[in-house]
């Protein structure tokens, strides 16, 4: 009854209620809001901006803006953020919304992966056909394997939710992409992953393969989320307050 009354009141006064992620167990949470593109809303890993990454207030998935990368020398770096820092384990989960504008070229979404210093860890990019490709370093970061998760593909000017998880105990990974339909791909790395000490980067691999398009709501955990939890993140309900508790988020339309 309480929810019904609230819904009627919201309709009368022109307000909207919605659930929102609240990942208090995450390492970092980048909402990419206007005026706060580099802000970590969960931890203390403020991003360093190279060039100018713009806030796109017209095209976004969460909040009121996304980060727009022009395909030029504009990207984010964080030297202290370590996706592998789960004690003795290398478990991680990285989720975000992605809207590419040039899938005719190979472009990087995020990485902790250094070729020059033989600190290859993990890199996620789309190839020149829009297919997601992952690179995993091993042998101290000196070597790498390439993985092409089946059915995980991005399309120009289309928002996709993209999640990647890794479980150290069995070297298993999961890719989840949602563009209106859910696409899952599970597998096992051929070699134990290398705990890279390289900087974490968004929208670039070193200084090349620069991303062209928008990225929104990137969240990073030093643990492996389940399939159900990944879908909660996509729906914006991960860690969100239960309506029955009386906690409700309300925004002006």
Q: What is the pLDDT of residue 87?
A: 58
Sequence-separated (6 or more) residues with CB below 8 Å from residue 184: 151, 174, 175, 176, 227
Q: What is the pLDDT of residue 19?
A: 57
The DSSP bridge partners found for residue 166 are 92, 173
pLDDT in tens, 87-133: 567 899 999 999 999 999 999 999 999 988 899 999 999 999 999 99
Domain co-membership, 44 together with 153: yes
pLDDT in tens, 27-73: 999 999 999 999 999 999 999 999 999 999 999 999 999 999 999 99
Cα-trace Rg, the chain: 18
**Cα 169–chain centre separation:** 23
Strands 66-70 and 75-78: unpaired
Domain co-membership, 99 together with 169: yes
3-state secondary structure of 37: coil
Q: Is the pTM higher than 0.75?
A: yes
Closest among 67, 60, 68 to 32, alpha carbons compared: 67
Domain co-membership, 130 together with 211: yes
Domain co-membership, 227 together with 116: yes
pLDDT in tens, 120-171: 999 999 999 999 999 999 999 999 999 999 999 999 999 999 999 999 999 9
Q: Which domain holds residue 29?
A: 20-236
End-to-end, the C-alpha distance of the chain in Å comes to 24
Q: What is the pLDDT of residue 88?
A: 63
Domain co-membership, 117 together with 11: no
In this prediction, residue 86 has a pLDDT band, given cuts at 50, 70 and 90, of low
Phi, psi of 158 (to 5 degrees): -130, 125
Number of domains into which the chain is organized: 2
Domain co-membership, 199 together with 227: yes
Domain co-membership, 99 together with 174: yes
Q: What is the pLDDT of residue 241?
A: 57
Domain co-membership, 93 together with 2: no
Domain co-membership, 161 together with 171: yes
- Two tokens at 175? 């890719």
Q: What is the dihedral of CA 120, 123, 194, 95, to 10 degrees?
A: 150
- Two tokens at 210? 């620069």
pLDDT in tens, 187-246: 999 999 999 989 999 999 999 999 999 999 999 999 999 999 999 999 999 998 544 333
Per residue, the 3-state secondary structure of 164-227, as one string, reads EEEECCCCEEEEEEECCCEEEEEEECCCCCCCCCCCEEECCECCECCCEEEEEEEEEECCCCCH
pLDDT exceeds cutoff 80 at 10 = no
Q: What is the pLDDT of residue 1?
A: 44
Domain co-membership, 14 together with 48: no
> In CATH, what number is assigned to the domain containing residue 216?
2.60.120.200
Domain co-membership, 221 together with 179: yes
Domain co-membership, 136 together with 169: yes
């Amino acid at each position: 009854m309480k929810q019904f009354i609230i819904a009627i009141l919201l309709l009368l006064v022109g307000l909207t209620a919605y659930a929102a992620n609240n990942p208090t167990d995450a390492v970092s949470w980048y909402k990419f809001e206007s005026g706060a593109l580099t802000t970590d809303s969960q931890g203390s890993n403020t991003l360093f901006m190279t060039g100018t990454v713009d806030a796109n207030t017209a095209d976004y998935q969460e909040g009121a803006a996304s980060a727009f990368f022009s395909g030029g020398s504009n990207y984010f770096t964080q030297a202290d953020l370590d996706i592998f820092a789960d004690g003795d384990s290398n478990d991680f989960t990285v989720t975000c919304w992605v809207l590419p504008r040039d899938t005719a070229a190979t472009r990087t979404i995020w990485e902790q992966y250094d070729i020059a210093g033989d600190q290859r860890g993990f890199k996620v990019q789309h190839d020149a056909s829009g297919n997601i490709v992952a690179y995993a370093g091993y042998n101290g970061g000196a070597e790498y394997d390439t993985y092409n998760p089946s059915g995980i593909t991005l399309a120009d000017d289309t928002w996709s939710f993209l999640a990647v998880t890794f479980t150290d105990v069995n070297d298993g990974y999961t890719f989840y992409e949602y563009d209106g339909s859910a696409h899952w791909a599970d597998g096992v790395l051929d070699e134990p992953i290398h705990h890279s000490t390289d900087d974490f980067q968004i929208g670039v691999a070193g200084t090349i393969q620069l991303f062209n398009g928008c990225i929104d709501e990137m969240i990073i955990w030093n643990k492996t989320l389940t399939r159900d939890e990944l879908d909660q993140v996509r729906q914006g309900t991960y860690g969100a307050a239960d309506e029955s508790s009386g906690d409700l988020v309300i925004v002006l339309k």
